[in-house]
Amino acid sequence: KSSSLVTLFNEVLFSPFVVHLHADPDLADHVASYGLNVYQSYGPSGYFTHEFDGDEEFYVDLEKKETVWRLPLFSEFTSFDPQGALRNIATLKHNLNIVTKRSNNTAAVNQVPEVTVFSKSPVILGQPNTLICHVDSIFPPVINITWLKNGHSVTEGFSETSFLSRNDHSFLKISYLTFLPSDDDFYDCKVEHWGLDKPLLKHWEPEIPAPMSELTETVVCALGLIVGLVGIVVGTVLLIRGLRSGGLSRHQGSL
């Protein structure tokens, strides 16, 4: 599969419109990347996305020919005509065919993706939460991310971002799964990519402190009682010494 893959980044054919925002010297710089286009012969497939500080603002669904906002709230402040993205992708496809015929291209090197799974917020049993599967160092940008619950495929409650660009020209992708934590359930993020010899399963299960045994509870209670008694005894001794010292001082003063 990888031998038939040729990817042309828009750094080559379409220089991305990158804006560095630093109007206030007291604020950190921000980087907006507008119009990141990728087209590849495998599939064939491609994508068009806008990013801000490495986060996705929106992407264009090339099949449905519509703009998909990362958060619906974004669409209330601006808009984007997907036809512009479709024209860019068509140009990329045309140029890719020309470059492929005129150059002695070689297969891209398949990188091994890095996978991390974690919960969005601290896990509390019975409280809704979100699992996040963060897949980094993806190249080429062809990957399949799925979820397993107790070893069985999950068919609903998940979503994912489009491919997000990295400075080294690799990509990352994030998959989200809403779930209800239970001490009986465990989850796996399954990643399939050409850089892997076999599908990678990244395991996750809630870390719940083991309950104390009756013997442990008895020992803890006994230690607490002993510490309390020692405190009472020490306090009583100090109080008596203080009273005696005070009485002796008054007696010596009267002489």
**Would you state the pLDDT for residue 18?**
40
pLDDT at 98: 86
Band (pLDDT 50/70/90 cuts) for residue 111 is: very high
Residue of 144, 164, 127 lying closest to 31 (CA atoms): 164
Looking at the whole model, is its pTM more than 0.85?
no
Ordered domains of the chain (ranges, CATH): 2-102 (3.10.320.10), 114-204 (2.60.40.10)
Q: Please give the Cα distance from 198 to 175 (Å, whole number).
A: 20
Residue 29 vs residue 128, higher pLDDT: 128
Residue 123 in this model has a pLDDT that exceeds 60: yes
pLDDT at res. 95: 86
- Over residues 5-46, the pLDDT tens digits come to 444 443 333 334 344 444 455 555 777 676 677 777 776 677
Q: Over the Cα atoms of the chain, what is R_g?
A: 31
Residue 243 reports pLDDT greater than 70: yes
List, in sequence order, every beta strand (DSSP E) within the chain: 7-9, 17-21, 30-40, 45-52, 55-61, 66-69, 114-119, 129-138, 144-149, 152-153, 158-160, 164-165, 171-179, 187-192, 200-204
- Residue 234: what pLDDT? 74
Pairing of strands 114-119, 164-165: unpaired
Instruction: Please report the pLDDT score of residue 209 as a whole number.
Output: 60
Mean pLDDT of the chain: 79
pLDDT at 133: 98
155-179 in b/e form (b: 16+ CB < 10 A) is eeebeebbbbbeeeebbbbbbebeb
Annotate 63-98 with DSSP letters as a single string. Answer: TTTEEEESSGGGGGT----HHHHHHHHHHHHHHHHH
Top-confidence residue, 7 or 173:
173
210 or 114, greater pLDDT: 114
pLDDT of amino acid 179? 96
